[in-house]
Amino acid sequence: MSALPPAIFLMGPTASGKTDLAIELSKVLPCELISVDSALVYRGMDIGTAKPSKELLAAHPHRLIDIIDPAQSYSAAEFRRDALEAMADITRRGNIPLLVGGTMLYFKALQDGLADMPAADPLIRAELETQAATEGWQRLHDELARVDPESAARIHPNDPQRLIRALEVFRASGTSMSGHRARQLAQSTEVAASGGAQLPYTVANLAIAPQDRQVLHRRIALRFEQMLEQGFVDEVIALRARSDLHPALPSIRAVGYRQVWDHLDGKLTAVEMQERGVIATRQLAKRQFTWLRSWADLHWLDSLERDNLSRTLKYLASVSILA
């Protein structure tokens, strides 16, 4: 048995059944749930994020849901800080932190730590936004390609949030974002080689998804249709009625929300909005699978199996998570 306390990571693409399995686990194990989802942090964004119902959350509380306003931003560093605090609190009470969600960057930040990058600089950001307004985002992307080709290859010219952050890091520190991450990776490798642990827990890594990708695609389409029936458009209308929200914010750029926002702006018909929302959600799932394929020591579960609870318990016992 490891001297480190146990924790469980339950990951997977969107619409794969993560929450259902997490609830089942919490009924039979002394687990407390922590959400790992970059959209569920926002208050007032319930339908389009497929947020668990108020009744379910009352019966099975999730930490890190409804913690900030949509006008605010929430970084991976802030998530790591908050998640570690929550995990420590859960562990102190003798329970097991069960982290469930699909924001793989958050899981990665928690597992491996974050590169020591400069904090956001309002002056630099204002300069970059002014430059983008006068010269266009492609010109900023060309600049990033010169100073940080690796980040430029990952970041699309139409992704202003990540593009500005990458250039901000370089202008503030003189070192590219890729350089900072390479240094972090080297430090993490040194820690592992010395027998240390970046995260002070014995973690069981689980992922759940249908083996048949077409099944997942059908689930995604059905869920988006159900969101629309539940009042997704009205939810976005309420967000638009506020004077402080706009499409450049991370909250409004969330999958589904940006498509409905464009529809309400008259850029998309209702049919086009639904089609593009489903396509964007499939693309999100594809990115999630890409992250998961590179994850070490990952135990996969098929969403369509009927005995995933017993399979999970058996696996947790095999890796000494359960006493």
The answer as to CATH 1.10.20.140 being correct for domain 122-181 is yes
Residue 95 pLDDT: 97
- List, for residues 115-145, the tens digit of each pLDDT value: 777 878 889 989 999 999 999 999 999 999 9
Average pLDDT of the chain is: 93
Residue range 6-113+199-318 forms a domain whose CATH class is alpha beta
- Determine phi and psi for 267, rounding to 5 degrees: -85, -20
Select from 19, 75, 67, 20 the least CA-distant residue to 44. 67
pLDDT higher than 60, residue 191 = no
Highest mean pLDDT among 56-70, 113-127, 180-194: 56-70
Residue 128: predicted pLDDT: 93
Mean pLDDT, rounded, for 147-165: 89
Which residue's entry shows tokens 């059908």?
218
Average pLDDT estimate for 50-75: 96
Residue 188: pLDDT band (50, 70, 90) is low
Structural domain boundaries in the chain:
6-113+199-318, 122-181
- How far is 160 from 35, CA to CA, in rounded Å? 26
Distance CA 286, CA 40 (A): 20
